[in-house]
Structure formats: structure tokens, C-alpha cells
Amino acid sequence: MSNILSETKDGIARIEIDRPDKKNALTAAMYQAMADAIHAAEADAKVRVLLIHGKPGLFTAGNDLQDFLDHPPRDDQRPVFQFLYAISQAQKPIIAAVAGAAVGIGTTMLLHCDLVYAAPNARLQLPFVNLGLVPEAASSLLLPSLIGYQRAAELLLLGEPFSAQKARDIGLVTEVVPEDQLFDTAMAQAKKLAGKPAASLRLTKRLMKQGQAAAVAQRIKLESGHFAERLDSPEAKEAFSAFLEKRKPDFSRFD
Ligand code: COA
């Protein structure tokens, strides 16, 4: 059971995150399944567009913190980084439908999607510093260039939740749509793209991304080294244990 459901129909590869009892937190196995699904969609000529979504009222609570303790990703060959390389290098358009929690990678993966639809209840957050970690998914590069340094610093240093509307205002979300229309809107846009000339879509995406493609791959690798190092830090261990023990972390013991 990977908790990732994938299905291809009418030219659309749908990837559904399906682990609601743990708020769709992502384990290594789930990252691997998503990376595999993206690679399969890229290789399948019948697939024109990818659609990533979660459950009603829930996108993903980000990395599974227990899984981080049990299987820390020590290098960029690990499933989480394979997923990040796959989503950031995909040639076909990717649409995301986001409702509820979109924490950590639940927010950073949106930087690599082409169209992002979010429900008003979406709650995005980049809590890496609060967890003793560093940003991933090249967000340390892409976010400042998307929204300016100070606004990126607010999101990445304070790590507080922000709304779908704010995400729309800063350009991380394409449109905010009522939750009961979220999936249908994302699917309708996917169908529109699926009917367009596929080679033109791929080339247009490549042209828009070409200027930053090498820098993005390099940044994912650079971040992965710091990330692996920070996972072993006492601050990260304290933050993860505190979350799992349902208490506030205490960082006062660490320099
Ligand atoms: N890793 C592991 N388990 C997680 C998780 C995560 N990232 N997010 C949620 N869960 C688990 C909880 O431990 C809880 O499990 P339990 O029922 O066995 O106790 C269950 O999912 C429900 O979570 P809960 O915190 O009770 O739900 P909530 O609605 O009160 O809050 C969130 C939802 C997403 C705001 C909150 O769960 C959260 O902050 N999660 C951590 C997010 C995070 O830091 N992700 C890492 C980013 S790098």
C-alpha cells in the first residue's frame, strides 16, 4: 500500500495522495510512488497532462515526521529527492488542486506545477526553520525570485501558515475556487490542456523554464546536502519528537 493512487484516463494522469488518517503526510514509499507515476506519465505518449490532488479538505501535511526519524533521506538519491527531480524536470504540464493543509513540500511542490487551484480553506506553510531544517525543492531559489526577498524571508524564516488568497496574491496559486468546485475546475483545465497540441505545450513549458532549469537542479542538490545534515541535528530531533509527542519544542538547550 503506497497511499498514492494513480490513474490515466482521457490523456490525464491523475495522482492522488491518499493517507487521510495521517493528514496525507508523505513517507519515502509515497515519494517513490509519486516519482514513479510522474516518470510513467512522462513516458506514456497517451498522457498529455498530470493532475496532482489530495482528499477533500486535505492536500498534504508534508513529510512524515516519524518517517524522517526512521529513514532520514541522507542523499539526493532518496525517494523524496527523486520526486523533486521528477516534478521539477517534467516536460508535460502539471496541475495541482489544493485544499486544507499544504505544509512543507505540500507548498514547495506547487512551485513546480503549471496551474495551481486552491480552495479558500487551503493552509499553506513552509515550516522548515521551525523544524530545525532548511528549505527544499529549490524553494530557497524560486521563492525569492517569484515574490522578492523580503516576502520570501517572511514565509521561510517565520514559517507561519498563510492563506490561499495570499498564495494567489504572491503568484504561487493560479486561482482560488470554492472547495466544492475545486476538483472539477482542476479537471476541466486539465481536459482543456489535454486537447491542445502536446508538442507545443511541452516546448512552451520548456522555454519558460529553460533559463532556470540548471540552477533549479543544482539548488535541489545543494539543499539536499544541508537538509540531510540538519535531519541529524538535535534541533530537528527535538522538533520531530515534540510534534509526535504533541508538545511544544524546546530549542533553548541548543546553540
Ligand atoms: N508527519 C507524521 N504524522 C503527521 C504529520 C506529519 N507531517 N502531520 C499529521 N500527522 C499525524 C498526526 O501525528 C496525527 O496522528 P495521530 O492521529 O496518530 O495522533 C494525525 O496525523 C492527525 O494530525 P493532527 O495534528 O491531529 O491534525 P490537525 O488537523 O490538528 O493538524 C496539521 C493538521 C497539518 C496542521 C498538523 O498535523 C501539522 O502541523 N502537521 C505537521 C506538519 C509538518 O510539520 N510537516 C513537515 C513539513 S517539512
Q: Is residue 188 part of a domain?
A: no
Residues 148-168: what's their mean pLDDT? Answer: 98
- Tell me the average pLDDT across 101-121: 98
Whether the pLDDT of residue 142 is over 80: the answer is: yes
Q: Is 47 in the pocket of ligand 1 (CB under 6 A)?
A: no
For residue 30, is pLDDT > 70? yes
* Residues 6 or more apart in contact with residue 8 via CB below 8 angstroms: 14, 41, 44, 46, 47
Determine the pLDDT at residue 119.
98
pTM over 0.85: yes
Share of the chain above pLDDT 70, in %: 100
> What pLDDT, on the 0 to 100 scale, is given for residue 73?
87
Residues spanned by the domain of 36: 1-179+198-255
Maximum alpha-carbon separation in the chain: 58
- Does residue 81 lie in a domain region? yes
Task: List, for residues 77-98, the tens digit of each pLDDT value.
Answer: 899 999 999 999 999 999 999 9
Q: Is the CB of 204 under 6 A from ligand 1?
A: no
Instruction: Give the residue whose CA is nearest to atom 22 of ligand 1.
Output: 22
pLDDT of residue 229: 95
Give residue 82 CA to ligand 1 midpoint distance, Å: 23
102 domain residue, yes or no: yes
In terms of DSSP bridges, do strands 101-103 and 123-125 run parallel, antiparallel, or are they unpaired?
Answer: parallel
Report, as an integer, the average pLDDT of 160-186: 98
**Size of the chain in residues:** 255
Q: Which residues pair with 51 in a beta bridge?
A: 14, 95
Q: What is the CATH number of the domain that holds 131?
A: 3.90.226.10
pLDDT at 1 over 80: no
In a domain, 224, yes or no: yes
The residue type of 233 is S
Query: How far is the C-alpha of 65 from the C-alpha of 252, rounded, in Å?
Result: 21
- Does ligand 1 lie within 6 Å of residue 155's CB atom? no
Given this model, what pLDDT does residue 2 score?
76
- Whether residue 162 lies inside any domain: the answer is yes
Residue 67 Cβ contacting ligand 1 at under 6 Å: no
Q: Is 64 in the pocket of ligand 1 (CB under 6 A)?
A: yes
Domain count, the chain: 1
Whether the per-residue pLDDT at 255 is higher than 90: the answer is no
Which atom of ligand 1 lies nearest, measured to the CA of 100?
34
Contact 99, 118 (CB under 8 A): yes
Distance CA(39)–CA(181), nearest Å, equals 29
Task: Report CA(247)–ligand 1 centroid distance (Å).
Answer: 12
At 75 the pLDDT is 84
- Alpha-carbon span 87 to 39, nearest angstrom: 9
If DSSP codes are grouped into helix, strand and coil, which group holds residue 124? strand
pLDDT band at 134 (very low <50, low <70, confident <90, very high): very high
* Phi then psi dihedrals of residue 85, to 5 deg: -65, -40
Asked if residue 122 is part of any domain, the answer here is: yes
**Using CA positions, which residue lies closest to atom 4 of ligand 1?**
22
Q: Please, which pLDDT band fits residue 76 given cuts at 50, 70 and 90?
A: confident
Rounded to the nearest angstrom, the distance between the alpha carbon of 34 and the centre of ligand 1 is: 20
Average pLDDT of the residues of the chain: 96
Instruction: Find out whether 77 and 122 touch, Cβ atoms under 8 Å.
Output: no
Tell whether the torsion through CA atoms of 137, 142, 147 and 152 is positive or negative. Answer: positive
**Would the pLDDT of 129 be above 90?**
yes
Please write the tens of the pLDDT for every residue from 201-240. Answer: 999 999 999 999 999 999 999 999 999 999 999 999 999 9
> Is 189 within the bounds of a domain?
no
DSSP secondary structure letters along 80-122: HHHHHHHHHH-SS-EEEEE-BEEETHHHHGGGG-SEEEE-TT-
170 Cα–ligand 1 center, Å: 26
For 179, list phi and psi in degrees, rounded to 5. Answer: -60, -35
pLDDT greater than 70 at residue 112:
yes
